[in-house]
Amino acid sequence: MVVTEQSQTPRAPSGWLPPSPAPDPVPAPPDERPRTRRLGGALLVAGALIVKFGAKLKALLLLLPKLKVLTTSASMLVSIAAYSLIWGWTFAVGFVLLLLVHEMGHVIQLRREGVEASAPLFIPFLGAVVGAKSLGGNALAEARVGLAGPVLGSLGAAALVPVALATGDDFWKALAFTGFFLNLFNLLPVVPLDGGRAFAAMAPWMWFVGLFAVIVLVFLAPNPILLLIALFAGLETYRRWKERKRADPASRAYYDVRPAHRLAVGAVYLGLVVLLVIGMDLTFVERSLSDA
């Protein structure tokens, strides 16, 4: 019971002092470290984690070639999947096989020139590439390597014509037409296309004609692939022309090709162009809007 009247409150004896109340708990001193210092510590921890992860990622990237993840067959499957989004998987398979035949022409000729060449690596919507340390000892060897792709690729496309005639199926004609067009496009006289390789032995000044043609195509039918080709062609043409104009004896010797060899390369080049145009005409399949 609480008593509120003073008369009822007992007096304390003299000399007695009431006990002092217990002190309040002292709060912990605030963290006086600067905020930037705390942030720096956090960044160091994050950096250590990134370095640790980066080391593992580097080890994984070094391991990829040994695991043969990026092999020719794997890149072919990726390209087939990409092209099938446009044409369907059956046409995509045929198109990628035609690309393979074309690239194997380069591989075979490179090895005949004594140059070690890798197997083709396929890049969706950009074709395929073959890795090599050089294209041969001179411009004539480069022309042989460049023309070997369209030669073998044209034969691969031509092999589909008897199949189309025997079956009467326009699928094979359309596939052959695409193969002929693919090889004809590669004969544009601009580096790094195959036609540019051929003109390295005939008339390197034609690189500028080919570059102009590619730029015109970009304006007539703009698309990212043509734009990339024009960009690479411009850079490569500038580099090669600058290299050719140097007073370096080795550079001059590279482009020193005998007239008879120039005529032989020109004959093969023009023959390919004519035959490919004829092949495209024979295999052209007319389609209406209702077929699209």
pLDDT digits (tens, 9 = 90+) for 4-25: 333 333 344 434 334 444 444 5
Short-list 59, 95, 58, CA closest to 80: 95
Residue type, 64: L
The number of CA neighbours under 13 Å toward the Cβ of 69 is 7
Distance CA 231, CA 98 (A): 26
pLDDT of residue 251: 77
pLDDT digits (tens, 9 = 90+) for 122-145: 988 888 888 888 888 899 999 999
Count of Cβ atoms closer than 10 Å to residue 256 Cβ:
11
Domain locations in the chain as residue ranges = 72-286
Comparison of pLDDT for 197 and 133, the residue scoring more: 197
Q: Report CA-CA distances (Å) from 123 to 48, 73, 78, 151.
A: 36, 12, 8, 21
Burial class (CB in 10 A: 0-12, 13-18, 19+), 45: exposed
pLDDT digits (tens, 9 = 90+) for 236-273: 999 988 887 776 777 788 888 999 999 999 999 999 99
What values do phi and psi take at 259, rounded to 5? -55, -40
188: which 2 tokens?
A: 């544009």
Residue 38 has pLDDT above 90, yes or no: no
Residue 60 has pLDDT above 70, yes or no: no
pLDDT of residue 291: 53
Q: Please, what sign has the CA dihedral across residues 268, 274, 275, 280?
A: positive
Short-list 241, 244, 260, CA closest to 252: 244
Burial call 217-241: b when 16+ CB within 10 Å, e when fewer: bbeeeeeeebeebbeebeebbeebe
- Residue 128 bridge partners (DSSP): 122
- What average pLDDT does the chain have? 79
Q: Report CA-CA distances (Å) from 59 to 47, 54, 68, 87.
A: 18, 8, 15, 38
